[in-house]
Each structure stands twice: as C-alpha cells, then as structure tokens.
Amino acid sequence: MRSVFFASVMVILTALSVTSCSGNSSKSSDNSSGQTTSAAADTDTSNKAAPAPMPVFPRAQAVTPPDPSKIGAGGKMYTTKEPLTKVESWYVMTRGAQVGKSSPASAMMLIGDRQAGTAVILTSAAGKTWIVLEPASSLPQH
C-alpha cells in the first residue's frame, strides 16, 4: 500500500513541476526605475528575509516518510483524518493556494511563487489525507 501511495505522490510531484514550469516565466515592465530596483534586490542577498514557515493544516500530524529521498530538500509529510476536499479548501481559502490539478483522490497546489513558495501535494489513501509540503524551489526545473 505504501509503495502505491508514494508512486502516486511522485506522479503528483512530477505533474506539479510540469504545471509550474508551463506558467508565465518572464515579466516585462516599461518602468526602468522598477527594473533597476528589482535587479538590485535580486543581487543583494544580505537583506533577504528567511523563508516563511510552511503552512501546516491545523489537524495534521507530522509523519516520517518511508523514503525521504522521494521528497525534496526541506520537505515534510503530514497526515490527517479530515477529507481531502476539506484540506484542499483550507489551503485555498486561508493560504491563497493556486490549484494546479485536482481530482477526487489528489490535489497539487502552489502557495506563492516558484522561487519562494510552497508546493502542496495532497493524496487520499487508506482513509487519510496525506500532505506533502516542500519548498517549490526544490522541485525539478524544466
């Protein structure tokens, strides 16, 4: 059962990375002073704030993944007995998650952007909702 679950999680992670990569990857601006400010901010790493903690569903409990190498660097796994639809709604309504793909048994979401956001992968299996949270920047680049 675990191997089926983790195979599902890997499929979801792959699909999320493909979905994220197909989004708008370039922004243009006619405001040259805005570009200068943005470029300066990108090169100055000393003033960057620490990443925000990943948002954990309130009734979720941390679990150790059977194969931690399948989860990206800094990723965490949680489980809850709440239905997937309730967990998904919580992330959308309270955290502004953008749903990349959703089905009755799984959902993939992104909170924030690809560089500093959080990837949220939900899977329903064995009467529980499994939650994988990881920095979106740790997903494979395409």
Q: Residues 115-127: pLDDT tens digits?
A: 889 999 999 999 9
Residue 113 to residue 1: CA distance in whole angstroms: 33
In a domain, 16, yes or no: yes
Contacts of 49 (CB under 8 A, 6+ apart): none
Examine residue 84 and state whether it is found in any structural domain, yes or no: yes
107 in a structural domain: yes
Residue 126: which domain range? 2-21+58-138
Does the residue 98 lie in any domain?
A: yes
* pLDDT tens digits for range 25-63: 333 334 434 443 334 444 444 445 555 678 999 999 999
Look at residue 118 and tell me if it is in a domain: yes
Total domains, the chain: 1
